Amino acid sequence: MKKKYQNGFFLFGLVLLIVMLSQLDFKEVWNGLQRAGYWFFAVVALWAGLYIFNTFTWHIIIKTTATESGGSDKPISFWWLYKTTVSGFALNYATPGGLMGGEPYRIMQLAPKIGTERASSSVILFVMTHIFSHFWFWLISVILYLLTQPVNLLIGSLLAASTIFCLLGIWFFMSGYRKGLAKRAMNLLRHIPYVKRWAIPFIEKRREQLDTIDRQIAALHSQKPHIFATALASELVCRILSALEIFFILLVLYPSVNYIACILILAFTTLFANLLFFMPLQIGGREGGFLMSITTLGFRTSDGIFVALIVRIRELIWTLIGLLLIKFEQKEKDKLPTERGQLQ
């Protein structure tokens, strides 16, 4: 990626991070960190492991698209891909609409190594699999709730609506895997006012590239079902293990915590927050989701506020780490020409 683009991503994310930090009550943050104690470090460290699952998913998808295209690649180390994954999620955390920051960054980072088309298809496939796993996670959580919690008319109605929503989402993505999604998404944009002004020329100019991307998307599901299942399982396991974050935080408040309850809290909170995807860092949506899910399961309102605070701080820390990785990689690239000159 060119230096000016890398600087642009870094500065864009940094500005948004500063804006998010300005919204915090630092006295409340400090009190929360003191209360959490060493469990806070466990929460932050947990995500270093969870990002390995995301990187593994993207890595096997990249290898699959490379096999389908038959092209030669520059070597892609798992550690480099891990850093790119963390930075991509950092930009998504800070960006309204999520995909406006992290996905273009991933494509621009990967394109010099495997080409723009394959970089685009691998990123689209990763995002599809990441979101697809959410729908399965939410559906599994509905079943867990029915098996472990009492259900009244209101809760039953919400669970029924959630089930329908999840099944529709699963159907949509299965259709996208079979037929491709890139061209269909762009054709949808051509009907949106104002957006269609650039969407129509873009589609006409890159019709062949979009067809190639869609073929690669469809190939993962139809020709490599075991890789598709492995990628989906990796993301789904990551979703389930991420409930450890809530488990660690609630251990500060209660000596024994039911892990299934933590999964249900995470499922409802992420579902609610993703419905408000347009908000930067999902401010308000995440906190509201924690409050509603935790109180519904019999915890106190103050517990929901505490969990939401610690999760928010963790997100800000990993956003900062991701942005610093962008800056450090740029410095490493700047050193290479100097080192080569010295060797000569």
Cα 168 from chain centroid (whole Å)? 20
How far is residue 186's CA from residue 298's CA, in Å, rounded to a whole number?
45
152 in a domain, yes or no?
no
State residue 198's pLDDT score: 60
Question: What long-range pairs does 70-75 form, CB within 8 A, spacing at least 24?
Answer: 71/114, 71/115, 71/118, 73/113, 73/114, 74/112, 74/113, 74/114
103 in a domain, yes or no?
yes
157 in a domain, yes or no?
no
Q: What is the pLDDT of residues 120-149, one digit of tens each?
A: 888 888 888 898 999 999 999 999 999 999
228 in a domain, yes or no?
yes
223 in a domain, yes or no?
yes
156 in a domain, yes or no?
no
State residue 135's pLDDT score: 95
Q: Report which of 62, 51, 53 is spatially closest to residue 227, judged by C-alpha positions.
A: 62
State residue 264's pLDDT score: 94
Domain that holds residue 29: 3-138+166-336
Is there a contact between 180 and 117 (Cβ–Cβ < 8 Å)?
Answer: no
State residue 344's pLDDT score: 45
Residue that is written with structure tokens 């259900």 in the block: 151
Is there a contact between 90 and 102 (Cβ–Cβ < 8 Å)?
Answer: yes
Those residues with Cβ within 8 angstroms of residue 20's Cβ, 6 or more apart along the chain or in another chain: 94, 280, 281, 283, 316, 319
> How many other CB atoms are found less than 10 A from the CB of residue 75?
6
State residue 68's pLDDT score: 52
State residue 340's pLDDT score: 45
Is there a contact between 217 and 182 (Cβ–Cβ < 8 Å)?
Answer: yes
Number of domains, the chain: 1
Give the pLDDT of the chain (344 residues) as one tens digit per residue.
555 555 565 565 566 556 555 555 667 777 777 888 888 999 999 999 999 999 999 999 888 766 555 554 567 889 999 999 999 998 887 665 444 567 888 888 888 888 887 888 888 888 888 989 999 999 999 999 999 999 899 889 999 999 999 999 999 888 877 776 666 666 666 666 655 566 667 666 767 777 777 777 777 667 678 888 899 999 999 999 999 999 998 988 888 889 999 999 999 988 877 776 544 444 555 667 777 888 888 888 888 888 888 888 898 889 889 888 888 776 555 554 444 444 44
Those residues with Cβ within 8 angstroms of residue 230's Cβ, 6 or more apart along the chain or in another chain: 60
342 in a domain, yes or no?
no
> How many other CB atoms are found less than 10 A from the CB of residue 36?
21
